[in-house]
Amino acid sequence: MPVTAQTRRRADGQAPGPPAVVPAAPLAVLDERRRGTRFVELPIASVLNSPAQTGMSFWSVNPYVGCEFGCSYCYARYAHQYVVERARDRGALPAAEFADYRGPHGWEAFERRIFVKSGAPEVLALTLRPARLGGHAIVVGTATDPYQPAERRFRITRRLLERLAQFHGLRVGLITKSPLVARDIDVLRRLGERSEVSVHISLIAVDALLVRKLEVRSPVPAARLKALEQLVRAGVRAGVMMAPVLPGITDDVPHLEALMRAAKDAGALWVRADPLRLYANVKRRFLPVVAEEFPALLPKYERAFDVRGIVTPGYAAALKRRMTRLRREIGVPSGDEDRPQPMVAEEACEAAQRELAL
């Protein structure tokens, strides 16, 4: 029998203490950018989040936790926060490094400490049973962008799609801001031969200067629209997701119309829209941007959302009427039949708690 601190206490007549916590293996750094962004290995036991876990109507897969694009309105920072805190609690992240993985304001690390699920394709191949899906779709990229810059290096999303292409009769959706998705047209076409596939290009406006104020490092609108055109020409079903629509910033008729016409010109099979959800973690990142770039709107933002961060019913109804009229005038469907609802912050966190095994 090995001698431990606990057995020594018994031998000395002391009451046994709690068993010692064996620290987990430290997080392995896979790569690092010159500007300081670090990519860290995230061991996982599962990769699919079920509707029962998230409350959504589909299964979800997220190859990364954290995102370099740095969109100020992103709701997914909770999932990153949970991963960091769990790594600390399990001893995989020393206390000295914890602050670095959280960021001075509690959000920067989401953009600069990217967790990479290198084993996701293999885990998916071992655990996916189409019969378990119950007819629900699988959506890739509900919490962080599956084609963020890290994908050029790690190619996890491509390998996930290759695994999915081995199955028959699936319904697969993919959400991204990146033109890198066009790299995988060959895999998407192969997947589409056996399953239903839809790609949703996320874009809030066609005004590149406006987009840069709100999305620090995202691809320019023209590049995303070009990728959309390439997808559609290749026979991949694709459309535009205008999400989130930002009150007072991108919700006026000129902005909505310009984006909808650009989407139609690029061949979009649908254009859909969802208003901003101003959850607590979104407020901490987004409202300072509003205060700096659109100061007159700040008091309105503080009044326009309820305690849950949801816009008032009147605003939601008015936006829906505006979009319906523009779609009718321009001739673009809504694509509601292809609509993957975004995973909100609390649901992303809950899904991460069930998914991650550091």
**Which domains, from first to last, does the chain contain?**
29-355 (3.20.20.70)
DSSP E strand stretches across 68-195: 113-116, 138-140, 171-176
**Per-residue pLDDT, 106:** 64
**Per-residue pLDDT, 352:** 43
CA–CA separation, 50 and 194 (whole Å): 22
Residue closest to 66 by CA, chosen among 151, 3, 166, 135: 151
Q: Mean pLDDT: which of 23-27, 82-86, 154-158, 280-284 is highest?
A: 154-158
CA–CA separation, 51 and 294 (whole Å): 38
Cis peptide before 244, with omega less than 30 degrees from 0? yes
Q: Tens digits of per-residue pLDDT, 175-232?
A: 999 999 999 999 999 999 999 999 999 999 999 999 999 999 999 999 999 999 999 9
Q: Tens digits of per-residue pLDDT, 110-121?
A: 999 999 999 999
Q: Tens digits of per-residue pLDDT, 247-262?
A: 999 999 999 999 999 9
Local structure of 30: helix, strand or coil: strand
Give backbone dihedrals phi and psi of 80, rounded to 5 degrees, phi first: -65, -45
Q: How confident is the model over 287-297, as a mean pLDDT? A: 96
CA–CA separation, 355 and 45 (whole Å): 7
Q: How confident is the model over 76-96, as a mean pLDDT? A: 85
- Both tokens of 51, joined, read 């509707």
Question: For residues 278 and 53, which has the higher predicted lDDT (pLDDT)?
Answer: 278
Q: For residue 4, is pLDDT > 50?
A: no
Q: For residue 1, is pLDDT > 50?
A: no
